[in-house]
Amino acid sequence: MIEQTASVSIRLNPFKGLDGPGGRSVPWSPYGRILDSRPAFTSDPLFHAGCYYVQDSSAMFPGHLFRRELRRLGCPAGIRVLDLCAAPGGKTTDLAASLREACGDDFTLVSNEVIKSRASVLAQNVALWGDPAVRVISADPSVIGSSLPGFFDIIVADVPCSGEGMFRKDPRAVEEWSPELVDLCAARQKRILSDVWPSLREGGVLIYSTCTYEDAENDGNLRWAADTLGGTLLEPEAGFGAYGVKVTDCGNLFRAGEVPGEGQWAGALVKTSAAEAPRRCDLSAIKPLWAGAPAPERKGKDLVPHADSALSIFFNKSDYPCAELDLPTALHFLHRDTIVLPDAPLGYNVVTYKGHPLGFVKNLGKRCNNLHPAGRRILKDV
């Protein structure tokens, strides 16, 4: 099966108008779309506007389990959720959309990535998605477990694994795989779960997933967590067999070539062991890398808007003059080129494409200062 071409899918942002490439629906994701071919996402301004996220359809299944458990818990007031191994941001953006649809503003979503370089990518993708309720942090699971006892109602742990499910997408995964790697990953996954376990409240839910087919990393480890850490396994989903999704002892298995997407395994349990009562304001103990767009910054006589504010789902376009760009000009803006807007007023303008904000420029008349962040610029020639 690894000789086949890898699948391509996206998930639309329901709070940015559901604009993006069309495709077949993903059975377990209301906003997932399976594409017939891979478009040039980098050349689509809607991608840079956060209108959709490129995510494998199988990787959307933990989001389905999350929505199932959110309904079962009744979306309690002030629900607190942790995406533990969150980079590059696919599951975080899925959880954010699901929480906002179910709970409105009454939720906290903490998105964590321990590796600093990957945490930076995570923060960028969360900023593009535009939900200010998401808090991005970079902390070891042991720090979270010790700092936030009993704090979370749901933890989603898409843990590092041996990666068999990614063989079609990543040739390095094929080269690096070995039985020793499986053993190493299984042991590391146990450590991650043990370290973060104190932060899950009694009665809270762990959603556990990998992109491998190995029992030791999948059913074996979730069963270990239930038996050793204290939990009751939840029933796997039985309704997706027509799409190639298999039921295993503790979860659901997706094999590349048998399902619309790539390889994935996911299962869930309810914590039954006692947890320490959460302490007030515990979350403040971990400094965020991103917690919504910063306020405009005073520079001399100017009040300079932050680029992330234009991408927020709550951005009010009436706060700034809007300049609608055609495709070539939008790409030049995203390339951080100097653009000219002869019909726009002087000063700060938000630039849009198909009505979706991309960022800010300062119109000087004969040219505009481009405020698109250098770290997000399109690198290829436009």
Q: Which residues carry out catalysis?
A: 211
DSSP letters of 81-92?
EEESS-TTSHHH
Name the amino acid, one letter, at 307. A
DSSP letter (8 states) at residue 256: B
Tally of CB atoms within 10 A around 24: 13
| Token pair 């007030």 in the structure block, residue | 280
Q: Which helix (H) or strand (E) element contains residue 323?
A: strand 322-324
The H or E element containing residue 3 is none
Q: To which H or E segment does residue 191 belong?
A: helix 179-196
Identify which of 114, 134, 87, 156 has the alpha carbon closest to the alpha carbon of residue 283: 134
| 317/322 Cα distance (integer angstroms) | 7
Residue 59: alpha-carbon gap to chain centroid: 11
As a whole number of angstroms, the distance between CA 200 and CA 221 comes to 17
Instruction: Name the maximum alpha-carbon separation found in the chain.
Output: 69
224-230 own/partner pairs: CB under 8 Å, 24+ apart: 224/190, 225/190, 225/193, 225/197, 225/269, 226/269, 229/193, 229/194, 229/197, 229/271, 229/273, 230/271, 230/272, 230/273
